[in-house]
Amino acid sequence: MTTHRILPGLLTAALMAFFALDVRAEPPAPPLAGPCRAIRAHDGDGVDLRCNGALVRVRLRDVATPRPGEIGYNEATRALAELLRERELWFASDDANPRDASGRRLVYLYDGRGANLNVELVALGWATYSADGGAGGLEHSFRAAESEARSDNRALWTIWSVTARGMTPP
């Protein structure tokens, strides 16, 4: 068989394998609520949603972002707002009705494609994985997304790297 026939087949197989392993394309958990729209991001992992006319305050489960006063706080907050802007959203949870210390529902957010936006925020580099509430069913996806963001020096990883070297972030 000639090379011009083998290479396209190998490329197609490699691309199919890559997309089959994409951790952000997992099927969503059964939606508990939606559709919703993001109204306001409070910080990098907390947002107000409008769901069927009701206000729902949520915190993204299994993610950690900089807190007020920490490097990257404003950027992570803007990134979350931009990620959710103009999207129809649904939320789901591993538990019956988990809440954080502020009374916000701990949720996984999904868009219309079924993409887990919590994992997406970590993959973009604006959050890290946190199993503080106990490792959920998506631990592997979160760890892979964080590893990818860190190795590509995305977003917060760049800011933290520059700051660690004693330079001022751009």
26-164: CATH class: mainly beta
pLDDT at 121: 97
3-state helix, strand, coil in the chain (%, to 5): 35, 25, 40
Return the amino acid letter for 30: P
CA angle 12, 14, 15 (to 5 degrees): 65
pLDDT at 41: 97
pLDDT at 98: 83
Which residues have a Cβ under 8 Å from the Cβ of 91 and sit 6 or more positions away? Answer: 31, 32, 33, 34, 36, 49, 56, 58, 105, 107, 108, 109, 110
pLDDT at 133: 66
pLDDT at 168: 44
CA-CA distance, 82 to 56, in Å (whole number)?
Answer: 19
- Residue 56 forms beta bridges with which residues? 49
pLDDT at 79: 97
Q: With 0.85 as the threshold, say if the pTM is over it.
A: no
Note down pLDDT in tens along the chain; length 170 residues.
444 443 334 334 333 433 343 444 444 445 468 999 999 999 999 999 999 999 999 999 999 999 999 999 999 999 999 999 999 999 997 677 788 889 999 999 999 999 999 999 999 999 999 987 666 778 999 999 999 999 999 999 987 665 555 544 44
